[in-house]
Amino acid sequence: MSDHVSRPEPSADHAARTTTTSVPSSPSQPQIQSQRSGWATRMAGALVTTVAVLAALGIGIGIGRFLLAPEGTGDGPTATTSAGGTATAWTCSMHPQIRQPNPGDCPLCGMDLIPSSNEGGEEAEGLREVSISREARELLDLKVEPVARRYVTATVRMVGKVDYDETRLGYITAWVPGRLDRLFVDYTGVEVQEGDHLVSIYSPELYSAQAELIRARQATEQRRTSSGVLGAERLLESAREKLRLWGLTEPQIQEIEAQQEPSDHLTIYAPMSGIVIQKNLQEGAYVDTGTRIYTISDLSLLWVKLDAYESDLPWLRYGQEVEFTTEAYPGEIFTGTIAFIDPVLNAETRTVKVRVNVPNPSGKLKPDMFIRAIVRAQVATAGRVMDSALVGKWICRMHPGVVKETANDCDVCGMPLVRTETLGYVSAAAAADESAEPLVVPASAVLKTGTRAVVYVERPDADRPTYEGREIVLGPRAGDSYIVRAGLEEGERVVTQGNFKLDSALQIAAKPSMMNPEGAMADAGSDGSGDRPALPPSVAGQLGRVLSAAGEAAAAMDSGDRQAIRAALQAVEQAVAGVDAEKLDGHAALLWKELAMRLRNDAVEGRWAASDRRIRDAVGQLMTDIGRLRDRFGVTDDPGTLLANGPFDVSNTFREQLTGLWDAYQNAQQALAGDDPDRARSAVDQAEEALSAIDMTLLEGEAHDAWMTARGELLSAIEHLQEASELETLRSGFKSWSETMPPVVSSFGLPESVGPISQHFCSMAFDNKGAAWLQADGAVRNPYFGATMLTCATDTSLIWDGPPADTDPVRPRPVEVPPAFRDQLKALWNAYLQAQETLASDDPARAGEAAVALERALAGIDASAIDGEAREIWDREQANLRTAIDRMTSAAGIEPMRAGFALLSEEMPVILETFAPEIGGDVYRMHCPMAFDGRGAAWLQAGEQPRNPYYGATMLRCVDEVQRVALGESARDSGEEHDHD
């Protein structure tokens, strides 16, 4: 028998990986045993080395496969087949983007492929979801916490030193040249009071100046009664002024004049109280004019200079209180006020100097003491700092201790005070609103990837532990929490411990994760069949509006107008939120959920970006994700493919002619629903005749251009149908016809007799590609399946509800009230206009008077003469008016008064439109999107030129919309509304 090696096929239990060796028989059994012993020793050594290498490589693979093991099994890594017993996909643990249908080697690194994560267990529903067993959750020790709205405190810790207050330093200098004959303060550290004598200086020039003063005084006395007395008095005053400029006091000058004897010595007195901190010269030294002799510092007020890291700057504000301790007095807390934040960053230490004004009445604090300081900033909406002591107040930019309730001038420097919100504090309106509380998430839940982050949210409705990865947009960090700008809702539970392990499991599954944001998105354009997901027409239109909004944002980016860019990005957010995701299912729903998250985050990040570069980057990423939207769903923002917004103003004759085309369409739809090809072909011929009979000369302008475009598409669809003979071919052509009819119906309309028209959508038509059709009644009759599935409709939307009863804008009809009642309302309106003007003028005193006038006007309205519907409306609105006016009259400052005025401005249009008082002239409703921290607010004006009552002189023209208010029947003939940028 010859030597040979047999290689059996792999078995399910993996036992066949061992090698069986067959050798010839030998008469020497000990020799055989010796050979086997040597072979075993060599194999054992090799096996130990191999096991060590494989163990190192397999740790990461094992963790991910264990997390994804099916519930109830303890051998996660061996679960390599699906429920049907065959592996569906194989991936590489190092390159999860690799997806192959069969096992083998990774084409990138050569490692063995492993089964994808969804085999053997329940597959998670989302692109970013991961499901694990309960046993795995316990072993991983996952912990979750709810997302909450609450004020958070950002604690900023800084170190620094005590320093002199530069504004309280005094320098004793020689104002005349001479010799220092006597220094009354012999050493530094001596405390002096204002007026104490400090230096006696000998000066020949001073002697000459005194002699000149005495001669001028004598000349004046001699010429008291002569005509030259005026000249002598001028010389005397000139001599006095010379000595004043040299530092002599009035008593000293008077003493010289009285003694009639000049002195060659001058005494210099202390100009302020304080401590002598420098003594620059000794007695006997000669000095020139300006030579510094002493430096005095008032230590009752000191500066503390702190170093703040750049990451802490969002929480530091001018006027904030600072607490600090010193090494000399452990446990004793000192306080001060931030008076200056250096505008320049130290490039070496990455810190910014923060100066704090500190009172030091006890003298415990000494210059150059080392201190440790803490600032506790309460964080409110949008990451702004909230200080209840400064809400709605006015403060001096130079002297933070000067804080007043109303606009005024600084008591120290005379500079006009500014609102505290201009320095980064929350306004009074935001502070009074519960929504000022920010949405926060624990910092441990966040896996940061820059300005965005990934968190894992627990799905409470899942049968097994399931967690969804979600990309969110973060604000600044405050203590142990991050402020969330987008991506989470209050009450959701996020993973705070074990989130990185979940992210690793998603990475192995080739799903989007923090480490691999794209995941399998590159291959997510279809459901595996190579076709794009089928979309209901209503959703296609909504996605088209998302594309249009993104195009507006890109155009605004080119203009460079930040306000326009932010407004356009907000429109993108609204368009994304307006997509009805409930009408999507399967792969389309999963794909849109991922894209919607990305698009929303792009828009939010762009709105909050502080620099042009970051805004540009955010808009660029938005357009990249818009490209994904186009590619994945095949949607377009071409207006010709979307439902029109409303009918053109066309004649009833044209609509009657369209009825023939509509009747032919309905006949074709009913024939196909009844599986009747002959009747369907007859309806197609009817449609051709009806289309030829429509007189296009009845239209002009945009309506004519739109009809010519629609007519070409209709003609193409009908010609395609005329070539069809089989039922399935007719149905395919009818699909094209149904795609051209919605814009025709919604743009031009039909006679009132036709009634409402709905668009139905069946996602199963044409091998799950989906198709839509129109009907004028509610009974679903599917033309693509006929009797097989007659009622198959997964989406229904109303596209036309009949022509409007009146082509004029609908105006409110006022209720009947006596003329006296309307006159009383006119007084209320005049008081409202007065309040609007005073707030726009930043005049809190006059605004308070206007609020009182509003209160009197409301109290003077006698509603006893009205009843019925009018009385019911007035009683309801009167309560709302009173609430708003009470808020204005009780406001302590102009900002809370503005908040009350915003409430009043929501009620006044109802009063004007319902009761139509004779106020004379036009009334305009204006809206500012930036008022009250971006929440926006409206107001009314009697003129069209905007005067913003919420910003005043700061942004007097801030307005994004101007509309003329319809004042009942009296306004029926007024013009159209105006829109302003």
The answer to whether residues 936 and 880 touch, using CB atoms and an 8 Å cutoff, is: no
What length is written for the chain? 981
Alpha helices in 133-267 (DSSP H): 134-140, 204-222, 229-245, 250-259
**141 vs 119: CA distance, rounded Å:** 24
The answer to whether residues 418 and 399 touch, using CB atoms and an 8 Å cutoff, is: no
pLDDT in the model for residue 454: 92
User: Among positive and negative, which fits the CA dihedral 912, 913, 914, 920?
Assistant: positive
Mean pLDDT by 10 residues, the chain (981 residues): 40 38 40 44 44 41 47 40 50 69 82 63 64 83 90 90 90 86 89 88 83 83 68 82 80 83 81 89 88 91 94 87 94 92 90 94 93 89 70 80 82 81 66 66 87 86 87 86 90 91 78 70 49 74 85 88 88 90 82 91 89 89 90 65 55 88 92 92 92 87 79 87 89 89 84 83 84 84 91 81 54 72 88 92 90 91 85 83 88 86 84 81 82 78 85 82 62 38 36
Which pTM was predicted? 0.55
**170 vs 429: CA distance, rounded Å:** 45
pLDDT for 540-583, tens place per residue?
A: 878 888 988 898 899 899 888 888 898 899 999 999 998 988 88
pLDDT for 231-284, tens place per residue?
A: 777 888 888 888 888 777 888 888 888 888 787 787 888 888 889 988 988 888
The answer to whether residues 625 and 726 touch, using CB atoms and an 8 Å cutoff, is: no
pLDDT in the model for residue 48: 40
Structure tokens at 507: 């990475």
Rg, the chain, Cα only? 43
Q: For 308-334, give one letter per residue: b (16+ CB within 10 A) or e.
A: beeebbbbbbbbbebebebeeeeeeeb
* Residue listed under structure tokens 């400064």: 390
Q: Which long-range contacts (CB under 8 A, 24 or more apart) does 567-573 make?
A: 567/929, 567/960, 569/603, 569/604, 569/606, 569/607, 569/618, 569/619, 569/622, 570/603, 570/607, 570/929, 572/546, 572/599, 572/602, 572/603, 572/622, 573/600, 573/603, 573/604, 573/607
Q: Which helix (H) or strand (E) holds 146?
A: strand 143-146
pLDDT in the model for residue 591: 87
426 CB-near residues (< 8 Å, 6+ apart): 380, 381, 384, 385, 386, 391, 436, 933
pLDDT in the model for residue 202: 87
**685 vs 663: CA distance, rounded Å:** 12
Structure tokens at 85: 């017993």
Within 10 Å of residue 455's Cβ, how many Cβ atoms?
27
pLDDT in the model for residue 637: 53
Q: Which helix (H) or strand (E) holds 876?
A: helix 868-889
pLDDT in the model for residue 88: 53
**68 vs 925: CA distance, rounded Å:** 58
Residue type, 570: Q
pLDDT in the model for residue 815: 76
